[in-house]
Chains A and B, each alone.
Chain A
Amino acid sequence: EVQLVESGGDLVKPGGSLRLSCAASGFSFSGVWMDWVRQAPGRGLEWVGRIRNGGTTEYAAPVKDRFIISRDDLRNTLFLQMNSLKPEDTAVYYCTTVASYGFPSPIDYWGQGTLATVSS
């Protein structure tokens, strides 16, 4: 069974940093592309970025140059380093897997999410 468990969400001041983690199990983590998706309170879903197997990354425009996605394939863990945080980054952050249905593929599995709050 695929399991994705996020952690690290917290209250942080504007301009601060936060590192989210996602512990993955139940699948071959090293071979899977992984995405982060966020959802501001009461709002819709917003894609944050992607890391492919091999480590190449893509980012959405609002977070490019501030957020960094990385992975540790030995520990089956995904990370999201968030710097220069703004109040509009307040959201539940979901760790997700990209399906293996060929190229391209949609997101299939989601974690339960972790809340990051940016406020003074």
Chain B
Amino acid sequence: DIQMTQSPSILSASVGDRVTITCRASQNINTWLAWYQQKPGKAPKLLIYKASTLESGVPSRFSGSGSGTEFTLTISSLQPDDFATYYCQHYTTSSITFGQGTRLEIK
């Protein structure tokens, strides 16, 4: 089974900062990777799919990159609404695997 590992687990940052979260796959997954944002008590929200395609309605300060086994989610200038937990997800036609999550907190 493919394992997805995110780093860091917790990230402290300030409004206006540029931040990057990394997700590594245990084997080549091409670009079948999505990123989600989850706020406490709420369902996750799709941000990016196919590693770098922005979901409709998602602000352009979010971007994704990578292929194969290493991927990144970048927020170019943190806004107050961005403090949340972020998950990467590898998806196939028959299964889904999530990373363990990265909590982005206010410094």
| Chain A residues proximal to chain B, CB less than 8 Å | 35, 37, 44-47, 50, 58, 60-61, 94, 99, 101, 103-108, 110-113
Contacts and interface: CB of A to CB of B under 8 A. Distances in A.
**Most chain A CB neighbours (cut-off 10 Å) among B1, B36, B44, B101:** B44
Interface residues of B, number: 25
Given A101-B49, A112-B43, A60 B95 contact: yes
A16 B77 CA distance: 49
B98 A106 contact: no
Nearest to A103: B93
B104 to A, nearest CB: 14
Contacts of B87: 44-45
Q: Which of A47, A60, A103, A111 has the most CB of B within 10 A?
A: A47
Contacts of A35: 96
A113 B44 CA distance: 11
A53 B5 CA distance: 31
B92 A104 contact: yes
B94 interface: yes
A104 B97 CA distance: 13
Contacts of B32: 104
B91 A45 contact: no
17 contacts: A35-B96, A44-B99, A44-B101, A45-B87, A45-B98, A47-B96, A50-B96, A58-B94, A60-B95, A99-B46, A99-B49, A101-B50, A106-B34, A106-B46, A107-B89, A107-B96, A108-B46
